[in-house]
Amino acid sequence: MLNYWANYFTRNGIGVGMFLLAAVLLWMVFMIILPQLYMVDFSLRANVPPPKWGGEEHVYTLEHYKYLLYGSSKSAEQFNTIDLSVFGRTILAAVFVTIIDLCLCYPVAYYLAHVARGGWARLMIMSLIIPFWINEILRAFSFKVLFGTSGLINNALMAVGLIDQPYDFVRENVALYSGLSYAYILLMIFPIYNAIESLDKNQIEAARDMGSPWWRIHWRIVLPHAKPGICSGSTMVFMLSAGALAAPQVLGGPSSLWFTQIIYKAFNNSANWARGSAYALVLLLACIIFVLLMMRIFKVKLGEIAR
């Protein structure tokens, strides 16, 4: 060990070596590990006003997790159907958004990687990227303009004559799902694009020469090759849509809550920080489980996901 450090400093020099060490320690310990651990600790403690934090009344308790399960910290007779159903709906909706994005992005990524050429490919990529430089909230808001009862889509449908009354897309959550899918489309396209681009075209041509139909070419050659990209894209999209706050706040219908909105309310409205952090931790755990599941299903390593 001592040998290793001696080696490290001879290789980098004292000054640069110290800089690297200090920066990495600051980042890893004080910005990533300790805050997370402290949040776990905090979520396990009673909800007392800030001046008493760390005092005698700040005891360890499971009440916030119990509250999430049963709706009250004392009795365990009935489940907290409101919070739990919101949690379940958030996770399901995030999975749904991920699937939509996958279906949308795979053809686009394949087209970009193997069909489009030169300037047009760049134009396509650029027109995909540019909307993402606009603020997240403005993007969500533009979907509200599109899908509102007096919005563009309703007016177009009414002009064509498909519907005779404006359809409330916001109430039916159509606006929310499409807004979320659109918001994270890039995170799905680029990993898949990177994966497909490295595929040797000769393989596709060989399969075609052998008389394979187009769907089998995709199923047997392109899809397996794009697997790491699909895995990382799905993970990112799932994480971000499950943890999204802006889009549900702007686009969510009156009857639908997102789990992050409950966390936000616990912090801002009911001033129960401990419960908020307990809920945030549950969300984090759900996300970690999803990532592990994806890694198991697609048999890829974490290093390949975060790229």
Q: How far apart are CA 210 and CA 220, in angstroms?
A: 13
Instruction: Report the residue number, 78 or 127, with the smaller CB distance to other proteins.
Output: 127
Minimum distance from residue 155 beta carbon to other proteins (Å): 5
Nearest approach, Cβ of 81 to other proteins (angstroms)? 23
Minimum separation from the CB atom of position 48 to other proteins (A): 13
Q: Say whether residue 18 binds other proteins (CB under 8 A).
A: no
Among 2, 3, 49, 50, binds other proteins (CB under 8 A): 50
Q: Report the site for other proteins in 103-142 (rule: CB under 8 A).
A: 119-120, 122-123, 126-127, 129-130, 133-138, 140-142
Residues 53-72 that bind other proteins (CB under 8 A): 53-54
Distance CA 239, CA 270 (A): 26
Our finding on whether 245 is near other proteins (CB under 8 A) is yes
For other proteins, the binding residue among 5, 6, 28, 219 (CB under 8 A) is 28
Among residues 8, 79, 214, 219, which is the contact residue for other proteins, using CB under 8 A? 8
Which residues, numbered 262-281, are part of the site for other proteins (CB under 8 A)?
263-264, 267, 273, 276-277, 280-281
CB 229 within 8 A of CB 194: yes
Per-position x/- string for 139-158, each x denoting binding to other proteins as judged by CB under 8 A, each - no binding: -xxx-xxx-xxxxx--x---
131 versus 221: smaller Cβ distance to other proteins? 131
Q: Which two tokens stand for residue 246?
A: 């802006």
Among residue numbers 203 through 242, which ones bind other proteins (CB under 8 A)?
A: 235-236, 239-240, 242
33 is a site residue for other proteins (CB under 8 A): yes
